[in-house]
């Protein structure tokens, strides 16, 4: 076990930026097929230690890379992600590839279609390397709930990468992909990005299509990108964002060029700092890093002021009522009848249902189904689920009032840096509290970016969360770029 004085085993390796790789590909200094092969070599070398990829899609990836090479040789226009190796969290479906959602209950399922976000990446020329490990059905804050074993943090392999998109964050941090897709329901992109020292994006609810995303909580689930730097993350979001006729909740609002937006600088922006996010429970080293990041925003020409978000203290119970209620409904479809795992110990229909679900779901998923079913049950619906939805409305209105005064709000992404594997698995409540700074934005539907903002004395990354109003991702990117620039 690593100690605070002894360097831990680490696999961090920063990839080239999208602009650098596109330049190499366009100039013929590297072929897309060779680049893909290099990344598969890196995966083969590192994955046995980190457990980041659950499956690889080599045939599809190399075919796509060959198409990019052919287009380059002909001088044809190239997509914005042409030749760029990308990984996909295993809650987004890819045609013919295993889709497990980190669960035994989807064992053997190979979907016949692509998620919209996956299709958009490939249309932009991305080379899709494979499917990434995650907490089962995206339920978790440490990536220890996967039926296929935990992901290890590339910064320190004795620590968690965060969850639920731990594989997506770790893949970027370890240079096992240039960029990745994850999903965020209550912090599942932002918290692992913070723990692994990469950039993660929570788009506005509806900004990215959820078609092909295996559902956890439908009013909260969002698809977003991870990358090693803010501009690359902005480019990725620009590719996957936009209205989709296959998702009625997707927004018809035009998609700006987020990369260009991120170049505009943060001077003159008004930054809000909520006292509620700097209260008891915040690790002193995390606080110090965030305060230093706030000072860097002042130096960049931002006006910093205090804002109040008093309903924040109700966010965790509100989230864990809304999310579990929706999960109990969404996961009812996994019954052993149509696809996935079916228990062999089934001599009646009722037994097949109960045995398949009991054997197929892990402990955390069962816990959340039970919580959600209870909250929706007769006699308790008004007291729990309905009341939680009313508090959710108050949280959203509170953010609207705050954004009338400021352009962005900055907070710690998590109250601590990455904790050790096994440290919180025996205490679900302690694990849920790891989401205390991320669930409010999820409930309010607003957007945000997590950007590296220093490190602890032990060298563990600290992330700053930059939140902006609905469809204002460009503003969040501008602020995040300013924080990023101060770290270099």
Q: Write the CA distances from 76 to 27, 68, 69, integer angstroms.
A: 13, 9, 10
The answer to whether residue 40 scores a pLDDT higher than 60 is yes
CA atoms of 208 and 230, how far apart (whole Å): 18
pTM: 0.96
Q: What are phi and psi of 400, to 5 degrees?
A: -60, -40
- Under the banding of pLDDT at 50, 70 and 90, the label for residue 4 is very low
Cβ pair 97, 57 in contact under 8 A: yes
pLDDT for res 382: 92
The CATH fold of domain 18-276+290-308+398-487: Amidase signature (AS) enzymes (3.90.1300)
Mean pLDDT of 377-403: 95
Give the pair of three-digit tokens for residue 6.
Answer: 């002894």
The residues spanned by each domain of the chain are 18-276+290-308+398-487
85-89, 373-377, 427-431, range with the lowest pLDDT: 427-431
Residue 159 and residue 117 in contact, taking contact as beta carbons nearer than 8 Å: no
Distances (CA, A) of 397 to 181, 206, 207, 276, 311: 29, 18, 20, 16, 10
**pLDDT at res. 2:** 41
Residue 26 has pLDDT above 70, yes or no: yes
Predicted confidence (pLDDT) at residue 5 exceeds the cutoff of 80: no
Tokens 């002894």 belong to which residue?
Answer: 6
- Read off the pLDDT band of 1 (50, 70, 90): very low
CA angle 20, 21, 25 (to 5 degrees): 120
- pLDDT exceeds cutoff 80 at 7: no
Q: Summarize pLDDT for 150-197 with one digit per residue, the tens.
A: 999 999 999 999 999 999 999 999 999 999 999 999 999 999 999 999
The helix or strand, by DSSP H or E, that contains position 437, with its residue range, turns out to be: none
Cβ neighbours of 483 (radius 10 Å): 26
What is residue 376's three-state secondary structure?
Answer: helix
Mean pLDDT of 300-322: 97
Q: Catalytic positions, please?
A: 89, 164, 188
- What is the DSSP annotation of 137-197? GG--SSS---TT-PPPBTTBTTB---SSSHHHHHHHHTTS-SEEEEEESSSTTHHHHHHHT
């Amino acid at each position: 076990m690593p100690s605070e004085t002894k360097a831990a085993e680490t696999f961090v390796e920063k990839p080239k930026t999208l602009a650098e790789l596109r330049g190499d590909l366009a100039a013929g200094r590297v072929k897309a097929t060779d680049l893909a092969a290099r990344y598969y070599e890196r995966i083969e070398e590192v994955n046995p230690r980190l457990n980041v990829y659950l499956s690889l899609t080599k045939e599809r990836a190399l075919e796509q890379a060959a198409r990019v090479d052919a287009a380059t040789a002909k001088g044809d226009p190239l997509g914005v992600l042409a030749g760029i190796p990308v990984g996909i969290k295993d809650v987004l479906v890819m045609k013919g590839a295993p889709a497990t959602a980190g669960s035994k209950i989807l064992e053997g399922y190979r979907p016949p279609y692509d998620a919209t976000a996956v299709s958009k990446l490939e249309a932009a020329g991305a080379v899709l390397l494979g499917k990434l490990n995650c907490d089962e059905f995206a339920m978790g804050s440490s990536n220890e709930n996967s039926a296929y074993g935990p992901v290890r943090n590339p910064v320190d392999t004795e620590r968690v990468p965060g969850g639920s998109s731990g594989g997506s964050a770790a893949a970027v941090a370890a240079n096992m992909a240039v960029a990745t897709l994850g999903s965020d329901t209550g912090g599942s992109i932002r918290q692992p990005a913070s723990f692994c020292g990469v950039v993660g994006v929570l788009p506005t609810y509806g900004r990215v299509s959820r078609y092909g995303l295996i559902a956890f909580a439908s009013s909260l689930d969002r698809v977003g990108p991870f990358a090693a730097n803010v501009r690359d993350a902005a480019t990725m979001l620009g590719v996957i964002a936009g209205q989709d006729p296959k998702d009625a909740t997707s927004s018809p609002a035009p998609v700006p060029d987020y990369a260009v937006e991120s170049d505009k600088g943060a001077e003159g922006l008004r930054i809000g700092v909520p006292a509620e996010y700097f209260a008891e429970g915040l690790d002193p080293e995390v606080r110090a890093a965030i305060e230093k990041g706030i000072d860097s925003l002042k130096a960049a020409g931002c006006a910093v002021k205090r804002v109040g978000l008093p309903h924040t203290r109700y966010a965790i119970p509100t989230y864990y009522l809304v999310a579990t209620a929706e999960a109990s409904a969404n996961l009812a479809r996994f019954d052993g009848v149509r696809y996935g795992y079916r228990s062999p110990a089934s001599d009646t229909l009722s037994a097949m249902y109960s045995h398949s679900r009991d054997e197929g779901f892990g402990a955390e998923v069962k816990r959340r189904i039970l919580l959600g079913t209870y909250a929706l049950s007769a006699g308790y619906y008004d007291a729990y689920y309905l009341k939680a939805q009313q508090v959710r409305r108050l949280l959203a209105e509170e953010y609207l009032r705050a954004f009338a005064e400021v352009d962005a709000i900055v907070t710690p992404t998590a109250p601590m840096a990455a904790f050790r594997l096994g440290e919180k698995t025996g205490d679900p409540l302690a694990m849920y509290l790891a989401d205390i700074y991320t669930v409010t934005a999820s409930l309010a539907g607003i957007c945000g970016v997590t950007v590296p903002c220093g490190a602890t004395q032990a060298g563990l990354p600290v992330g700053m969360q930059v939140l902006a109003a609905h469809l204002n991702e460009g503003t969040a990117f501008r602020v995040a770029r300013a924080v990023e620039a101060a770290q270099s």
